[in-house]
Amino acid sequence: MAELQSSATDDANARLHPDNLRGLVACPHCDLLLQKKALRYSEKAKCPRCDCLLQQKKKNSIERTFAVALAGLIAFFPAMTLPLLGLRAGGLENEASLVECIQAVLKNELYFAGLLILLFCVLAPLFRLLIIFYLTSYVMNGKEAPYGVELLRFFHELEEWGMLEVFLLGLVVSLYKIIGLADAVFGFGLVAFVMVLMASTMATYFLDEQLLWEQLHGQ
């Protein structure tokens, strides 16, 4: 009996060996294990049990993701340092960039709010763009990306923490309230900020995570 148990355990361990799991994909919603299929472009594979999307072949995924990540990184510096909004009232004009906004918040001793803006509107989007730029550029050149798998996991976790949209919404709401009191002037920083937001969203859309994951694992 004991022998049978141990051989059954050995058998289960052998089946769980990474080499034997290579052709399988687990449904992220209901954990059903399924055989991977080779898909054609723009074809989708769904879980037969819960209809969750499992695989989707995207055209030129790595190259497109690389291009939008690069565009996002180029727009990032002006988005942080150029004025987002300016206000004109009674002959006085005042404008502020995102970095100046954070400085002003900290100056008013709102340290927690300042830290949140810094983390979610500056660091999280910046790290996401940097990680995806780094990984796609290595994969495109067929080279091994140091810490690639760990960085892809971190990228996945950061997805929940990027709050550029929330900051933009806050800007629109405050603008709506102010507009009766003063003339609002849009700065180039706002254009760059929207570009970073779009690049970040498009990078997530274009990225075929499974393909990138396989490429990184295959190295």
Closest CB to Zn ion among 32 and 182?
A: 32
- The residue within the footprint of Zn ion, chosen from 50, 104, 110, 115 (CB under 5 A), is 50
Distance CA 29, CA 143 (A): 33
Other Cβ atoms less than 10 A from the Cβ of 174: the count is 12
Closest CB to Zn ion among 49 and 88?
A: 49
Please return the burial class of 16, using the count of CB atoms within 10 Å of its CB with bins 0-12, 13-18 and 19+.
exposed
- The residue within the footprint of Zn ion, chosen from 10, 14, 20, 29 (CB under 5 A), is 29
Per the CB < 8 A criterion, the answer to whether 84 and 191 are in contact is no
Smallest CA-to-CA distance from 155 within 126, 183, 198, 191 is with: 126
Closest CB to Zn ion among 39 and 73?
A: 39
Find the part of the chain contacting Zn ion (CB under 5 A) among 11-19, 25-33, 35-43, 96-104: 25-33
CB of 47 to Zn ion, least distance (A): 3
Backbone angles phi, psi at 92, to 5 degrees: -105, 140
- Segment 129 to 148, residues that bind Zn ion, using CB under 5 A: none
49 contributes a contact to Zn ion by CB under 5 A: yes
- The residue within the footprint of Zn ion, chosen from 8, 30, 53, 115 (CB under 5 A), is 30
Find the part of the chain contacting Zn ion (CB under 5 A) among 50-58, 70-78, 116-124, 208-216: 50-58
Closest CB to Zn ion among 24 and 30?
A: 30
Pairing of strands 92-96, 85-89: antiparallel
47 contributes a contact to Zn ion by CB under 5 A: yes
Closest CB to Zn ion among 29 and 88?
A: 29
SS3 89: strand
The 8-class DSSP code of residue 35 comes to E
Identify any residues that bridge with 46 across adjacent strands, giving them in sequence order: 53
- Alpha-carbon distances of 205 from 64, 188, 202, rounded to whole Å: 10, 26, 5
Q: Give residues in contact with Zn ion (CB under 5 A).
A: 27, 29-30, 32, 47, 49-50, 52
